A = this chain, B = another copy of it.
Amino acid sequence: MSLQTVSRVINNEPNVRPEMKERVQASIDRLGYVPSIAAQRMSGSRSYLILAINDRERTIADWRERIGTDWVDQMLLGGMLTCAEHGYRMMVELVDTHNDHVERELSAMIAALQPDGVILTPPHSENPLITGLLAKRQISFARISSLEPGPGIRLTLDDDGSARKATEHLIGLGHTRIALIAGPEEYSLSGWRIDGWLRAMQDAGLATDGLCERGDFSFESGLKAARRLLDSPDRPTAIIASSDQMSLATLEVARDLELEIPRDLSLVSFDNTPIVKFTQPALTAVDQPIAETISRAVELLINQDKIAMPTEPINVEGSLVERASTGPVPAANGG
């Protein structure tokens, strides 16, 4: 049998007689032969590598501060395992968004690694410099949390629907003044969460004026936003915060103001990182289906030439995990 036939068997190509195939496979198994990825890549075939690119600054900060953000872990959980099922590998890389050399950095990464697919998380997924470069280089990629038209498979984590669910949960508890601490404008998902909240409120005929503040996902920004909301004489009885860190901050502001949660204030968080089970009280939170979304992205990227690529965005639904930070609206006792 020739080298070529072996290659055909390895790659599960047609045009090999079953009997021959079996014979080759037997030898492969006996010798424990595994093709070198480098050589495969060299000869113009695939590299069996999917790159997951995250924002450098934010990721490193999260790792350093050890505040419980498990975004990368969830990406690995969904991505690595799905990659492994198809004989692929996933590699995590960090790229600076706010950097003059994004293009250079990305180009170098692609030239060196030659991945078969790339997964872009926000804010990279919304950076035209990055998506443009990838498109030009003919590398297929998935954009997480980006709905802008253009190349790349689009996947969203149902920010809109989750915000709506959170809001409706609070409305169901009798709240009418439900505030939102939104994320920064540079993330589209911040806007989608506002939309979800806004629509749920409007559908219930509730006012929203002065009930939306912005933060940047950080604890510090949450402190400011929560103070602005809670210092108001006509303060909300419930707050939805767009990140666990901002929820933590809200908890602290509430403590300062001697507001008991959930008696005086209900709180719903976004992210559902491990720490929210341990706060006092444990937080009701929106769970983002990160692993599932990345898994779907990997699946699509790997099978891009076997199945039709979706032209519409794929929305992966999250869920609301109810814990102790939400409760019925306080009785109006003129306090």
Please list the residues of chain A having a beta carbon within 8 angstroms of any beta carbon in chain B.
32-39, 41-42, 47-48, 60, 62-64, 66-68, 70, 72-74, 76-77, 80-81, 89, 91-94, 104, 107-108, 111-114, 272-275, 277-280, 291
Contacts and interface: CB of A to CB of B under 8 A. Distances in A.
A68 B68 CA distance: 6
A86 to B, nearest CB: 13
A307 to B, nearest CB: 25
What is the interface of chain A mostly: helix, strand, loop, or mixed?
A: helix
Interface centre among A35, A60, A107, A112 (most CB of B within 10 A): A112
A64 B67 CA distance: 18
Contacts of A112: 34-37, 48
A229 to B, nearest CB: 23
Contact of A34 (B67, B107, B273): B107
A64 B111 CA distance: 34
A48 to B, nearest CB: 8
B63 A77 contact: yes
B108 A34 contact: yes
Given A37-B38, A89-B113, 19 more contacts: A32-B107, A34-B107, A36-B41, A36-B114, A37-B112, A37-B113, A38-B38, A60-B81, A62-B73, A63-B73, A66-B274, A68-B70, A72-B76, A73-B73, A80-B92, A89-B93, A91-B91, A92-B92, A278-B279
B92 A76 contact: yes
Interface centre among A38, A64, A279 (most CB of B within 10 A): A38
A42 to B, nearest CB: 5
Nearest to A87: B112
A17 to B, nearest CB: 26
Contacts of A273: 66, 68
16 contacts: A36-B41, A38-B47, A60-B77, A66-B274, A68-B275, A72-B73, A72-B76, A73-B73, A80-B94, A89-B91, A89-B93, A92-B92, A274-B274, A278-B278, A278-B279, A280-B280
Contacts of A73: 62-63, 70, 72-73
A45 B48 CA distance: 21
